[in-house]
Structure formats: structure tokens, C-alpha cells
Amino acid sequence: GAGVSQSPRYKVAKRGQDVALRCDPISGHVSLFWYQQALGQGPEFLTYFQNEAQLDKSGLPSDRFFAERPEGSVSTLKIQRTQQEDSAVYLCASSPGAGAADEQFFGPGTRLTVL
């Protein structure tokens, strides 16, 4: 079966533009995570969905970042008025359950470059 997919794979935006990053999780997976990964660093947690409910958005860096998963499957991470410090790889992951013992299946990421 298909794994987690993300689109676009690469995005270049001018400072101040809005961007939308899409994640298609594995079908039937309850949990969905968004992470930000800077070069040479590990993924940093942004937000967590359990089905359509956004249970945790404590990692979102500012109110310019917004995520949704309206039907409990596909998710979109939106960044408004992009800044250069937003440049990073944005990773999406899904897992079948909602517990800490579930492995996370990651997508390939979207590399965002803000000029």
C-alpha cells in the first residue's frame, strides 16, 4: 500500500507570500503529526491531530501557522506571510493508533525556501 505522501516536494516562496503544504496520510491512520526540520537538526513537533480533532498545537511557532484536517484524513499546513526563518523541511507523519507506543510513518517532506 501507499505510504505517507506530501506535496509539493519543494516550494520556493517570496517573503510575505502564503503557502499551503499538503499531507496524505496512510488510509485509516488515526494520528497525524506535523514537524519542522531545520538543516542538521532533528524533527521538531508542530501539531497533532487525532482524526479531525487538533489536540495539540503547542509547537506552532506563531499565529502565522495554521493546520487543519477537516475530514480526518488529508491535512494541510498553511503558513501566512512567510518569513525567511520559516525555511525548513516540513514533515508529516501518521500512525495507526493514538498511543505513545505507535510507530510513526513519515512522508518525504516538503522543503520550503523563503527568499
Partner 1 sequence: SQKIEQNSEALNIQEGKTATLTCNYTNYSPAYLQWYRQDPGRGPVFLLLIRENEKEKRKERLKVTFDTTLKQSLFHITASQPADSATYLCALDPSGTYKYIFGTGTRLKVLA
* Member of 44, 57, 64, 74 binding partner 1 (CB under 8 A): 44
What's phi and psi for 9, nearest 5 deg? -75, -30
Residue 65 engages partner 1 in binding (rule: CB under 8 A): no
CA nearest 82: which of 15, 5, 26?
15
* Member of 34, 86, 107, 114 binding partner 1 (CB under 8 A): 107
Residue 1 engages partner 1 in binding (rule: CB under 8 A): no
Residue 48 engages partner 1 in binding (rule: CB under 8 A): yes
Question: Cell numbers of 76, please?
Answer: 494541510
Per CB under 8 A, contacts with partner 1 among 22-41 are 31, 33, 35, 40-41
* Member of 17, 22, 51, 56 binding partner 1 (CB under 8 A): 56
Quickly tell me which residue has 505522501 as its cell: 5
Binding-site size for partner 1 (CB under 8 A) equals 28
Residue 98 engages partner 1 in binding (rule: CB under 8 A): yes
Nearer to partner 1, 2 or 14 (CB): 2
Question: Are the C-beta atoms of 24 and 106 separated by less than 8 Å?
Answer: no
What count of other Cβ atoms lies within 10 Å of the Cβ of residue 94?
A: 25
- CA pair distance 24, 3, nearest whole angstrom: 9
